[in-house]
Structure 1
C-alpha cells in the first residue's frame, strides 16, 4: 500500500486526497499525513476524511512530515510560488511520485530545479494541468494526433473573465497550446495588460486576488514550425472562459473548455462527443499516478511539460520588459 502525504489542505488539496479516497481498491494507497501552515485547515482536513482515514497525522513542517512518515506519494497544493522546496525536499527524501499543482513554479530556475531533482532521484512528477484528464480534451487531442485536421499549422488560445491571470489560469491555456502543438516552444513575444507594464517577476498572492497578476497576450513559436496566439485578457473581456482553436492543413478543431468540441472540414462542422469517464480531472490525475507507480508509464502532464509552460510565462514577462522583443526559450532538456 502506498503511503500518501498532502501539503496544502484547502479545496484543491482535499481534491488530491479525494482522488486517493476514490480508488476502487482501498488497499492500493491511503492518505497518512497532511501538512499546512494553518492549524485550522489541518483540523478541517482531518474531519473531512475521518470516516475514511481516522488516523491522519498532521504537520506544520513539511520536512518533519517527510522525515517521519516514509511517504511514497506527495501531493502539493500550496500557493504557486511555494512549490519548489517542497518538491525538491520530497525527491531527496525518497518519495516515489509527486502530484504538483500548476503552475509548476513561478521562475525558470525553480522549475528547472524541481525537474532536475525528480529526475536525479527517479521520482515520477505529474503536474495538474487538469484538461489532460478531461474526456472532451482527451478525445480532441486523439483526433489531432490521428491527423483528422491534417498537419497542425497554428493554434489560437483564448482566456477570458476576471480570473484570466497569467500564472493562475493562463498556465492552463498555455499548457493546452503546447500540448496540441506537438512541439516545444522556442521563442515567445508577450504583452501584459495595461497597468502591469513593469511587472517583471511573479508578485502574486498564490492566485487569490486577480489584481496581483496580469493578464497577457502572446505569440509563440514551436520547434516543429507551429505558431500560436494566446489571447489572455484583459480580465474585463466577456465570453467563454477558455477556448482553443487548432488549425491544420485540412481542417480545424475548436474546444470550448469542458463544454464542447467542433471539428470543421470542407466547411462542414461536426460536433465531437466523448464517452464519460468514471473519474476525471484532478482525481483522475491522482489515479494515474498510482497506476504508474504500480505498472510503469509516463504522466499525461509531466514535469517537463510544466517546465515548458513556466518558460513561456517567464518569456512573456521578459518580452514586455524588452519592448515586446522575441525571447528565446531553452530547447535542450
Structure 2
C-alpha cells in the first residue's frame, strides 16, 4: 500500500485506492502557532485510518471559538471532539466546511463498500469529497465563513490519471486579508426567495424519508435547507400529504392548499416547484408564470407533447419567468466533471456511447395510464438518459427507435430502445425499462484515447497504456475518474438557479433542454422526427 507523508514529518499509510496513479493528498499545515502540528493523513488510536489528523495543540476551547460552537449532525456536544473523536475536517469551497465525529450517523456512503468501518468509498479521494459533503448538505455554511482551508485548483495539487487537479491552500487568515482589501464594509444581505411546492408526493417532499439517499433530494428539501430560500406554501390533492408537508417544513395550515389556483392567488410565491403528474405540468407552469412567479422548477418529464412544451416555454419567456427542468444530473459534480473532461479532449474524439436505465415493468397505477403519465419507462426514466447524453456528448441529430409490450393489453411500453447519431458523428444506443428485476442507470462513453462509465452505482475511467499481456499492443488502463466539481448537487442546484435568474440567463437545465429530451422520447414513440431516423 502506498504511503503518504503527513505534514508533521512522519509517514502514515494511505487508503485503498489512493495510489500514486490516483494522486496523493497535499495538505498544508493548519498553522504553526503555539506548537500546532497541523493536519495530515494518519491513524487514530484504534488503528483505523482517517483523512486528517487532529491538531492536538488546538484545544477544545480554541476549537469551539474558531468553529462558532458548531455541532456535528449527530448532535454530540463539541466537548466530545478530540483526537479520537474527530474523523475529518474538510473544506468544500469558500466558507463551506465538513466536520465529522465518529458517530455512525455522521457518515454517508454508497452502501456497497466500507473502508475500515469508515464509510469511505474505495473509488478514491475525489469521490470522498462528494460523499462527505452530502453528510452535511443540510448545514449550509456551518462555520459562517470561518474556514481554515479552502479547495482550489492551482499549484501543489494532487493529480489523477486525467491530469485534473484538486488542491488545498492555506486560508486561516482569509478573513483578515479580505478585510484589508475591502475595508470594513459589511457584506450586502442577499435576497431571500419565497418558495412553494405544488405536489407534495415523492419527489416533492416524501423522499426525504429515504435514509440511504443523499439529502436533500426533493424540491422541498432544496428550499428548506438553503439559506436563500424559504418554503411558504404547499399544495396537494391528498390531505395526509399536506399535513405531513406542513409538519416537516413548518408551513402553517393556512398556507396548505388543495387547489394550485388558490395557492398562486393567495401566496404569490417567487419560486414555484411543479412536482405533480405529467398531465398537469403544462397547465400549472402556464398558470404560475401568468401569476407572476419569478422561477419555476418543473419536474421531469417536462410534458406529454411538444405542443405542451412549446406553450410552457413561450409563456415563461413572455412573462420573464425562468423555466428550469429538474434533470438533476446536470448539477451533479460527477457529471459536470465528465462534461469538462470530454470538452477538454481528455477522452479524444467520442466514438461510441451506450446508455441504459433498466427497471421492472411499469407499475399498475398512474404510470400505466398514458393520459396521465404520457408514456412508459422510456418517458418517465429515459428522459434522464437522453438529457444526460445530450449534456455530456452533444446534440442528437438522428434517431431511430422501437418499443416493446410483453402484455398486449398494456397501454404503455415496458421497453424502449433507440439508435442515435450525435453531432460529431458518434453512434449511441440506449435501452429503457427492459423488464429487469433491478434498477440500473449508467452511461458508457468511449473515445479514441479513453473511456468513462458513469451512473448511479458506478464512476470509473480508463486511459491508454502499454498492454501487460501482449508486446507492442496498447490497451485500456484503469485510472481515477475526473474529480467531482464542487459544490455538490445541493446547494449548487439552488444557487445556480438563483444566479441564472439574477443574471438574466438560462439555467444549465433550461426549458429548451427539457424539450429536446422530450423530443428524443417522442422519437422513440414515433411521434416526432429527428434527422433521417423515424421510429416505427
Instruction: Quickly name the TM-score band, shorter chain normalised.
Output: 0.7 to 0.9
Inter-CA distance 119–221: structure 2 relative to 1 (3 Å threshold): farther
Match of 1:208 in 2: none
Moved more, 141-150 or 226-235: 226-235
Q: How many residues get paired? A: 306
- Residue by residue, what CA displacement relative to the aligned partner does 1:221-261 show, whole Å, maximum 9, x if unpaired? 334433321122422276x7011112223332221335313
Match of 1:243 among 442, 457, 475: 442
- Residue by residue, what CA displacement relative to the aligned partner does 1:34-86 show, whole Å, maximum 9, x if unpaired? 11111221111001112xx5576011221221122222110011112221101
Residue 32 of structure 1 contacts residue 57 of structure 1 at CA under 8 Å; is this kept in 2?
yes
Match of 1:65 among 263, 279, 292: 263
Inter-CA distance 309–163: structure 2 relative to 1 (3 Å threshold): farther
Mapped to 1, the partners of 2:240 and 2:296 lie a distance apart of: 25
Once the 2 structures are TM-superposed, how far is the Cα of residue 278 of structure 1 from its aligned partner?
A: 5.7
Mapped to 2, the partners of 1:55 and 1:289 lie a distance apart of: 28
| 2:196 counterpart of 1:5 | yes
Match of 1:172 among 384, 392, 401: 384
Mapped to 1, the partners of 2:437 and 2:239 lie a distance apart of: 38
Mapped to 2, the partners of 1:302 and 1:146 lie a distance apart of: 23
Mapped to 2, the partners of 1:124 and 1:198 lie a distance apart of: 41
Residue 32 of structure 1 contacts residue 56 of structure 1 at CA under 8 Å; is this kept in 2?
no
Match of 2:145 in 1: none
| 2:215 counterpart of 1:215 | no
Residue 104 of structure 1 contacts residue 111 of structure 1 at CA under 8 Å; is this kept in 2?
yes
Match of 1:293 in 2: 501
What are structure 2's unaligned runs of at least 5 residues? 1-191, 206-217, 363-376, 466-475
Match of 1:98 among 296, 320, 340: 296
- TM-score, normalised to structure 1, is 0.82
What are structure 1's unaligned runs of at least 5 residues? 204-211, 329-333
- Residue by residue, what CA displacement relative to the aligned partner does 1:140-171 show, whole Å, maximum 9, x if unpaired? 11111111112323321122231681122111
Inter-CA distance 278–148: structure 2 relative to 1 (3 Å threshold): closer
- Residue by residue, what CA displacement relative to the aligned partner does 1:74-118 show, whole Å, maximum 9, x if unpaired? 001111222110111111222111111111112121112112221
Q: Larger helix proportion, structure 1 or 2?
A: 1
- TM-score, normalised to structure 2, is 0.53
Inter-CA distance 235–78: structure 2 relative to 1 (3 Å threshold): same
| 2:525 counterpart of 1:317 | yes
Residue 361 of structure 2 contacts residue 434 of structure 2 at CA under 8 Å; is this kept in 1?
no
Mapped to 2, the partners of 1:231 and 1:256 lie a distance apart of: 14
Secondary structure in 2 matching 1:173: helix
Q: Which has the higher contact order (CA 8 A, sep 6+)?
A: 1
Match of 1:37 in 2: 237
Secondary structure in 2 matching 1:166: helix
| 2:280 counterpart of 1:82 | yes
Match of 1:141 in 2: 339
Once the 2 structures are TM-superposed, how far is the Cα of residue 193 of structure 1 from its aligned partner?
A: 2.1
| 2:280 counterpart of 1:280 | no
Once the 2 structures are TM-superposed, how far is the Cα of residue 5 of structure 1 from its aligned partner?
A: 1.2
Residue 234 of structure 2 contacts residue 256 of structure 2 at CA under 8 Å; is this kept in 1?
yes
State the Cα RMSD in Å: 2.8
